[in-house]
Amino acid sequence: MSLPAINQEYLVDFLVKLLNVTSPTGFAEPAIAFVEKELSQFKQLELSRTRKGALVAKWNVESDQPPVALTAHVDTLGAVVKEIKSNGRLKLSRIGGIQWPTVETEGVWVFTSNGEKVRGSVLIDTASGHVHGAAGSETPRNDEHMEVRLDARTTSEKETRELGINIGDCVAFDPRVEVTNGFVRSRFLDDKACVANIVAAIKSIADAGLSPVRSAYFFISNYEEVGHGAAAGIPSDVAELVTVDMAVVGKGQESDEFSATLCVKDGGGPYHFGLNNKMRALAEKHNIPYKTDVYVFYGSDGEAFWHAGGDVALALIGPGIDASHNYERAHMDGLVATTNWIMAYLLD
């Protein structure tokens, strides 16, 4: 069989829109709701939510074989307001360990608990070159010295509180999405690229009038960046789980932006040998450009499910993402390869 064509315009358009929906872990509901709305057009899918807020889409088909599941996460790195300083600026507590130098001078939205949002930007507390001279480059980029300057008239804690801002409010960094020459440059391609891959695969299969060969669950997770996204919520009759998450690109890695990768082992140990070989065979059969790789500083939602006692065969595939957890970049070739791999897995 040959795989149905991918609507690449749809894939990029959906991805760009999703990247522009803010969704730091703990505040990912807008992105979950966005994906839910998109998937609701496919009448083949039964949609539900876990109590934790993850989205589950089931494509039910008649089959003697047990169902499979694919998972990807919409939550991203971010921060919350830790402290309102006496000068009205904000100290932050980071979500998912974002590295400070990667967001210095970035624009942010502060979302208040009453639904307002306030614009601002991240700066070092010795930002002015004319005030601090060389000290600006020597100041350590850490929780102590990084602050949010609000684009609102405030010079005191009281005035900032009067804007509706409170301790614990969500702070989302601008993704800065740009599409050029087949490259998609943005924060948080990890893992919105893979959510787009899953949605584009579902659309291609549905548009071609096809169905998966066995029932499939699509688990869109909302707490991955803190380690427990898919720990619960994948039904116990699921026999195989394919985690779709970014592949690591950089020095010493096999992965690149123009291929999809099968991760054989990461920081959490090896994946499932049998399912790995099944994924390799599917890639070979359908001429999908793929690499195999080992990731060092990496754990996945599939492993979260294993740690929580999930009894499934587990694999991890995904497109190569350059400069992950930094200012990331993907290429259409890697996104298409991953989408094709998902389709091959579902259809073959």
Active site residues: 224
Phi, psi angles (nearest 5°) of residue 9: -65, -45
Distant-in-sequence, close-in-space partners of 168: CB < 8 Å, separation ≥ 6: 80, 81, 113
- CA gap 279, 264 in Å, rounded: 11
Q: Which residue, 222, 225, 185, is CA-closest to 98?
A: 225
How many residues at the interface with Zn ion, by CB under 5 A? 3
The answer to whether 183 touches 39, Cβ cutoff 8 Å, is no
Task: Output the CA–CA distances (angstroms, integers) from residue 12 to 173, 182, 231, in the order listed.
Answer: 21, 10, 29
Q: Which of 106, 147, 169, 190 binds Zn ion (CB under 5 A)?
A: 190
CB of 219 to Zn ion, least distance (A): 14
CB of 257 to Zn ion, least distance (A): 16
Q: Which stretch binds Zn ion (CB under 5 A): 9-17, 168-176, 183-191, 195-203?
A: 183-191
Q: Which CB atom, from 69 or from 110, has the smaller least distance to Zn ion?
A: 69
**If DSSP codes are grouped into helix, strand and coil, which group holds residue 218?**
strand
CB of 245 to Zn ion, least distance (A): 4
Q: Which stretch binds Zn ion (CB under 5 A): 3-11, 87-95, 167-175, 244-252?
A: 244-252
CB of 191 to Zn ion, least distance (A): 4
Q: Which CB atom, from 191 or from 293, has the smaller least distance to Zn ion?
A: 191
- CA gap 195, 202 in Å, rounded: 11
Q: Which of 147, 240, 245, 257 binds Zn ion (CB under 5 A)?
A: 245
Q: Which of 106, 169, 191, 240 binds Zn ion (CB under 5 A)?
A: 191
Q: Mutual orientation of helices 8-19 and 332-347 as an angle, nearest 10°?
A: 110
Q: Which CB atom, from 212 or from 319, has the smaller least distance to Zn ion?
A: 319
Q: Which stretch binds Zn ion (CB under 5 A): 11-19, 107-115, 243-251, 258-266?
A: 243-251
Residue nearest to Zn ion (CB): 191
- CA gap 316, 306 in Å, rounded: 13
CB of 301 to Zn ion, least distance (A): 8
Q: Which stretch binds Zn ion (CB under 5 A): 139-147, 158-166, 191-199, 253-261?
A: 191-199
Return the C-alpha torsion angle 303, 309, 310, 316, nearest 10: 10
Question: Which stretches within 256-324 are classed as H helix?
Answer: 273-285, 301-307
Q: Which CB atom, from 191 or from 240, has the smaller least distance to Zn ion?
A: 191
Q: Which CB atom, from 84 or from 201, has the smaller least distance to Zn ion?
A: 201
Which residues make up the interface to Zn ion (CB under 5 A)? 190-191, 245
